[in-house]
Amino acid sequence: MGRLCVKYTIRICGEAGQGIQTTGEGFSRLFSSLGYNVFSFQDYESRIRGGHNFYQISFSTEEVYAPKKFLDLVLTFDKKGLEYKNLLSDEGIVIYDANSLKQSESDERFVNCPFREMLKDAGLKNIFENVVSFALVSNIFSIDKKYVYKVIQDIFSDKSEDILEQNMKAIDIGYNFEMKKKIDLPSSNNESKILLDGVKGIGIGAIGSGCKFYAAYPMTPSTGVFQYMGANAEKFNIVVEQAEDELSAINMTLGASFAGVRAMTGTSGGGFALMNEALSLSGMTETPIVILLSQRPGPATGFPTRTEQGELLYAINAGHGDFPRVVFAPGDPLECALLTNKAFDISEKYQIPAIVLTDQHLVDSLCSYEKDLKIDLQNQDYRLRSAEFESYQDYKRHKFLDFSKNNPLYPLAVPGDSRQLVFTDSDEHDEEGHITEDGEVRKKQLERRYFWKIENIRKEISPPKIYGNKNSKIVLVGFGSNLGILREIANNKKLSICAIHYSELFPLPLRENSEEALNNILNAYVTICIENNASGQFQKLIESEYRFKFSNNIRKFDGRPFNYDEVLEGIYAII
């Protein structure tokens, strides 16, 4: 007999300030510690208090990568959460406090749990209602209380003994409440797992790449990486600077890179707009930098806390003049680490700006991984330093190409590490970096600075990944944070589908390196491009590069991520 499959989705709802995020992270930690595969994401408004937010967790004995539409348990601290009854599964329930919400539901699927009354009787404040409910739901799933204690102790490890004691008391209250509905959750038979989100993935990738300077001006949804780098600054000897604006942030980053260290900045669309001139400065002076562009719906302020993939073509075309760059769009937290690392490597090797394109959904989502996960990162120093620089003959920062060499690009030297000088300029310049008006010099510089670089960078771009049935005549193609949806659709048991995911988007991989994926697309009867924007930016990019047309597309641009069920429904509607 095969192992019993377990699949559950929980949604915790309430106002900002009611501990929704803490509760959601608690459940994610709990189920991953028990060996279940976990995927969780957040939906929150742009406000510090009030409004309506939710945190959704799916856990399973099978792989889980993306949001689900239907819910098995809703835990709500506000009235808005009661409206999700239309999304309940057949056995789904809603847990709420009727007295607190001043609303009673007669539907048998609604379970009234007087959290605040229980807390009052125990002499605890209402602030502990999320901990009581966390314990109560854990008890519904028949989880041993010791695991719940451990999660809460880990979350509040930096708090006083008195606060920890009150939280333990709140857990006991939740477990002592008698619930008629109980779920005998079978063991996952797996070791505990670790959790990663996009923020931590990018941070690990940057630190593992040897990043020693990070400057930014806070802007959702890029701020999490800024905070992560700051929290680890002392441990890894990183200078982290909050600039007065995005112009200062990118120019500080350029200065740090020119001075000899690996440097990074981060922002969202509005801040990136301010960085455009300095982005071109990076291209002209050939100063390597990595830019985190974490997307949210625009234009202007748009939806500050929502998600979208609306800045793909902007990232590819930003700045004035011709200069190369790479644009990577990781699909999950692990890819965040790996592609941030690759962005640093290619940026340093080819002396160009590199853009890591994420979005709110990716940076705020948690995914589980095996406990022994190892992330292989490389950190090769391409710069001329100290004695090696001193012995370098007749150094010229922007020397013309010598195609007889394997890598004819002249190395970037560190100013001050030698008696030799390092010159560059934002004006067109000669080999030594001094301003020039010579047209022939300009042509030679572009031959080296643009054509040679872009041609050789393309050889290092990885092909897209293919999931599901490679012989299927239905092919779904997407990029970036839609990796989870693509993998879930490819794994579905109802329909045979081939799913293709692109994460290295500019320059796109050479046709000969993408032959398998392109053949799958060209031989399919139905080809569907899926993306989170209104204008079909990814579809335009792929079609113009590889000269074919998708037969259909599925687009979403309401600021929310795709869920598995709506995409599957969309595919059925097409075929």
The residue among 225, 221, 219, 224 whose CA lies nearest residue 243 is 219
The single residue listed with the structure tokens 């948690």 is 366
Identity at 150, one-letter amino acid code:
K
For position 406, what pLDDT does the model report? 66
Strand-pair partners of 13:
54, 76
20 to each of 109, 134, 403, 450, how far by Cα in Å? 22, 10, 59, 49
For position 2, what pLDDT does the model report? 47
Exposed e or buried b for every residue in 437-451, given b needs 16+ CB within 10 A?
A: eeeebeebbeebbbe
Are 561 and 532 in contact, with CB atoms under 8 Å apart? Answer: yes
> CA-CA distance, 85 to 95, in Å (whole number)?
11
For position 419, what pLDDT does the model report? 86
- Cα end-to-end distance, the chain, whole Å: 36
> CA-CA distance, 489 to 194, in Å (whole number)?
24
Domains in the chain with CATH codes? 7-190 (3.40.920.10), 196-370 (3.40.50.970), 383-460 (no CATH), 465-574 (3.40.50.920)
Give me the numbers of helices (H) and strands (E) for the chain, helices first please: 22, 20
> CA-CA distance, 473 to 155, in Å (whole number)?
48
Are 157 and 167 in contact, with CB atoms under 8 Å apart? Answer: no
270 to each of 354, 488, 519, 537, how far by Cα in Å? 18, 32, 38, 18
Q: How long, in residues, is the chain? A: 575
Q: Is the pTM of this model over 0.85?
A: yes
> CA-CA distance, 188 to 30, in Å (whole number)?
13
**DSSP assignment of 20-36:** HHHHHHHHHHHHHHTT-
Assign 3-class secondary structure to 51-82. Answer: EEEEEEEEEECCCCCCCCCCEEEEEECCHHHH
Task: Assign residue 11 a region (left: φ > 0; alpha: ψ between -120 and 50; beta: otherwise).
Answer: beta
User: What DSSP element (H or E) covers 563?
Assistant: none
For position 1, what pLDDT does the model report? 38
* Cα-based torsion angle of the residue sequence 491, 374, 347, 252 in order, rounded to the nearest 10 degrees: 110
Strand-pair partners of 8:
59
Q: Where are the alpha helices (DSSP H) in 306-413?
A: 312-317, 333-350, 360-364, 386-390
For position 250, what pLDDT does the model report? 98
**DSSP assignment of 72-115:** EEEEESSGGGGGGGGGEEEEEEEEE-HHHHT----STTEEE--H
> CA-CA distance, 479 to 483, in Å (whole number)?
7
For position 187, what pLDDT does the model report? 78
The residue among 431, 451, 386, 384 whose CA lies nearest residue 411 is 384
* Consecutive 10-residue averages of pLDDT for the chain (575 residues): 74 92 95 96 90 95 95 96 94 93 91 93 91 94 93 91 91 89 80 95 98 97 97 97 97 97 97 97 98 97 95 97 97 98 98 98 96 94 90 88 72 90 94 95 93 94 96 97 97 94 97 92 96 98 95 97 96 95
**Three-class SS state of 294:** strand
